[in-house]
């Protein structure tokens, strides 16, 4: 899938629309999700044109991959989530209901989170 630079996170990265920023460095930007699903719900995005985890890990320079994942860990630390625990999640494509076609890692925390996925999977 080709990268569409009109997506909302591309606009946030270009400063065309605001975000509630929690962290930024040369590789990444982290901000609060506009529709939080947990007491803490932050998104971390890489600075670059990457649709998904597969796209990013195949195409991004090693320094950016390292910097991005360091940022995810640092944000969890700075948000005070490490001791109690937290969840990271990255949706990709239709089956996962990815809404925004720019790689983003969700960080959820601040309460006991529910099961990883819904419990209706029967194995078939």
Per the CB < 8 A criterion, the answer to whether 72 and 10 are in contact is: no
Q: Compute CA distances 1 → 62, 92, 118, whole Å.
A: 21, 11, 28
The residue from 97, 102, 104, 120 that is catalytic is 104
The yes or no reply on residue 7 touching ligand AMP (CB under 6 A) is no
The answer to whether 97 is a known catalytic residue is no
Shortest distance (Å) from residue 50 CB to ligand AMP: 13
Chain residues 18-37 in contact with ligand AMP, contact rule CB under 6 A: 19, 31, 33-35
Angle at 18 (CA atoms; ends 81, 49), nearest 5 degrees? 80
Strand partners, 45: 29
Please say which residue, 36 or 73, places its beta carbon nearer to ligand AMP.
Answer: 36
Nearer to ligand AMP, 15 or 123 (CB): 15
Dihedral of alpha carbons 8, 13, 16, 21, sign: positive
Query: Which residues of this chain interact with ligand AMP, rule CB under 6 A?
Result: 8, 19, 31, 33-35, 43, 91, 97-100
């Amino acid at each position: 899938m080709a990268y569409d630079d009109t997506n909302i996170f591309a606009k946030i990265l270009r400063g065309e629309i605001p975000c509630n920023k929690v962290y930024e460095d040369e590789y990444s930007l982290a901000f609060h999700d506009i529709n939080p699903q947990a007491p803490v719900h932050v998104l971390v995005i890489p600075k670059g044109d990457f649709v998904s985890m597969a796209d990013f890990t195949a195409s991004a320079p090693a320094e950016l991959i390292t910097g991005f994942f360091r940022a995810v860990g640092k944000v969890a630390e700075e948000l005070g989530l490490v001791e109690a625990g937290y969840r990271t999640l990255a949706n990709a494509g239709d089956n996962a209901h990815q809404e925004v076609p720019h790689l983003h890692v969700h960080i959820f925390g601040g309460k006991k989170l529910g099961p990883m996925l819904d419990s209706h999977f029967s194995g078939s």
